[in-house]
Amino acid sequence: MSFYITTAIDYVNAQPHLGHAYEKISTDVLARHMRQRGEDVFFLTGTDEHGEPIADAAREEGIEPRELADRNAGRFKDLVERLDVSNDFFIRTTDPQHEAVVQEVLGRVHDNGHVYKGIYEGWYCPRCADFKVENEILEGNLCPIHEIPLTRESEENWFFRLSSFQRDLERLYAEQPDFVMPRHHYNEARSFINSGLQDVSLSRAKLSWGVRVPWDPDHVFYVWFDALLNYYTALTYARPGEDLLARFWPATYHVIGKDILKFHAVFWPALLIAAELELPQHVFVHGFLLGADGRKMSKSLGNVLDPLEVLEQFGTDALRFYLMRDVPFGADGAVGIDAVRTRYETELANEYGNLASRTIAMIGRYTDGHIPDVATDATLALEFDVLPAEVATVLDRADPTRALDLIWNRVRRLNRYVEERAPWELARSGADADRLRETLASLAEGLRVVTVLLHPYMPHSTERLLGALGSPEAEFRHALFAEHGSGARVEPLEPLFPKQ
């Protein structure tokens, strides 16, 4: 089955922060998991480089928007690499191929009669690059997201006839209750639609940093329409000579944060209908990482935790694990360096890392470095048999936190198993050699199973551990608890998560 998954594309007006990292990591977990299951996956991420915030930031620095975009896009790209994100392509909306296809698709929307010229007047947030409706605005005319003053703007724009898609969107939401997940965001989008859609600006005349409107070159497209179309345009040029559209369109999952729900859950499907393109299957909405002050982590509020700092101190896998474990996907969660340290020490180093080191050391000591090829413990097997299917079901609902929780319960189960069976006692008495072999075979097998399932979360450490256990296969079908120990030779392993 083909599986096309995307993240939002990030604004390049400032440096990437942990909120950006969080979205890329969660999407990566889903993409890696689907690849493990043998699906044909295409995973897209990238940067959103046009629009007023970028033009403004460049002006403040006294440089051209292009220069700022090049510099910061590089930082986002580096971060994605350092996070071990397995994207198949990195789109930049300043790519000329993207711009050409935006013009072509929006030209079709124009030719199909879905646009008109009019005057827009309203309260505008330059950071959101969005006009705000009266009931969203905070007291003192502040942006509800950035808490900065809104400006009163009036200009001649091209408009997209969003209102004419009222019925189509009502039908979409009635027929596809899982179009937006989780449910409360579906409800939010649906009530936005039910309250009556108004037409929206499609172009800006005052701005020059954007994709030119082909039928009116004094205008550039409003950045959101240019940006949304990245999900489509990327497939037209990511692999020259290959028809990725035929293979992957429409998207299976768009993963986004809750602040951009309206654009993806309302504008985007309407735009696709207007352009006669197929609609995505699901929009998955995650919450916000909150800074230590309990507010959304964002560059304009100045409460960001630098992902590079966390990466340097604890490593990529630990950051990935921490974010997936500590912030329930779909909800908001406060993050901080102390909480990273606690999870690192108690769970990664003590529970998982220690389990791995102990298991390998005991196999070295008691069975000559070979995982005994004997029947595994049937009771333990029962507890592990259901695990892969449970994890897959939960990840199909895009809940990487819950899936991780299920896996972690088994990590803890294995630690209890070590205590219950006390292999060192069995070895000392010498009379229980069979039980010792069964224990070590079962432990190694349980450890291998949880490690295969943890692979999408912590690709690097799990590869090391699977290698040390002599079974490097990380496909999902290898997450079944075998009836026999593998007989493989284990290799010594440096601590997976060394003490800091």
CA 312 to chain CA mean position, Å:
21
> Applying CB under 6 A, does 462 fall inside the site for ligand ME8?
no
Q: Looking at beta carbons only, is 19 or 307 nearer to ligand ME8? A: 19
Exactly one of 33, 143, 264, 282 is catalytic; name it.
143
Q: How far is the CB of 129 from ligand ME8 (least distance, A)?
A: 8
Total residues at interface with ligand ME8 (CB under 6 A): 21
Nearest Cα to Cα of residue 122 among 225, 60, 198, 212: 198
> Applying CB under 6 A, does 377 fall inside the site for ligand ME8?
no
> Applying CB under 6 A, does 99 fall inside the site for ligand ME8?
no
Exactly one of 98, 132, 146, 264 is catalytic; name it.
146
Site string for ligand ME8, 274-303 (x = CB under 6 A): --------------xx------xxx-----
The burial class, CB within 10 Å (0-12 / 13-18 / 19+), for 470 is: middle
Exactly one of 114, 254, 286, 299 is catalytic; name it.
299
Q: Hey, what are 478's tokens?
A: 């290898």
> Applying CB under 6 A, does 253 fall inside the site for ligand ME8?
no
Exactly one of 50, 98, 114, 125 is catalytic; name it.
125
Q: Which residues in 414-448 are b (16+ Cβ under 10 Å) and which e?
A: bbebbeebebeebbeeeebeeebbbbbbbbbbbbb
Active site residue 185: no
Q: How far is the CB of 364 from ligand ME8 (least distance, A)?
A: 44
Select the residue interacting with ligand ME8 from 28, 48, 317, 445 (CB under 6 A).
Answer: 48
Q: Helix or strand or coil: residue 309?
A: helix
Active site residue 478: no
Q: Is residue 47 within 8 Å of 93, Cβ to Cβ? A: yes
Which span sits near ligand ME8 by CB under 6 A: 19-27, 104-112, 421-429, 471-479?
19-27
Q: How far is the CB of 256 from ligand ME8 (least distance, A)?
A: 4
Select the residue interacting with ligand ME8 from 25, 228, 235, 340 (CB under 6 A).
Answer: 228
Q: Is residue 211 within 8 Å of 226, Cβ to Cβ? A: yes
The Cα 221–Cα 203 span in angstroms is: 4
> Applying CB under 6 A, does 22 fall inside the site for ligand ME8?
yes
Q: Which residues in 254-277 are b (16+ Cβ under 10 Å) and which e?
A: bbbbbbbbbbbbbbbbbbbbbbeb
Active site residue 146: yes
Select the residue interacting with ligand ME8 from 182, 257, 280, 372 (CB under 6 A).
Answer: 257
> Applying CB under 6 A, does 209 fall inside the site for ligand ME8?
no
Select the residue interacting with ligand ME8 from 3, 5, 8, 406 (CB under 6 A).
Answer: 8
Q: Is residue 259 within 8 Å of 190, Cβ to Cβ? A: no
Q: Helix or strand or coil: residue 197?
A: coil
> Applying CB under 6 A, does 20 fall inside the site for ligand ME8?
yes
Active site residue 143: yes
Q: Hey, what are 140's tokens?
A: 């003192």
Q: Beta partners for 203?
A: 221
Helix or strand run (H / E) with residue 119: strand 115-125
Active site residue 20: yes
- Using Cβ positions, the residue closest to ligand ME8 within the complex turns out to be 257
* Backbone phi, psi, residue 178, to 5°: -105, 20
Q: Helix or strand or coil: residue 111?
A: helix
> Applying CB under 6 A, does 95 fall inside the site for ligand ME8?
no
| Catalytic positions | 17, 20, 125, 128, 143, 146, 296, 299
**Site residues, ligand ME8 (CB under 6 A):** 8-11, 19-20, 22-23, 48, 227-228, 230, 256-257, 259-260, 288-289, 296-298
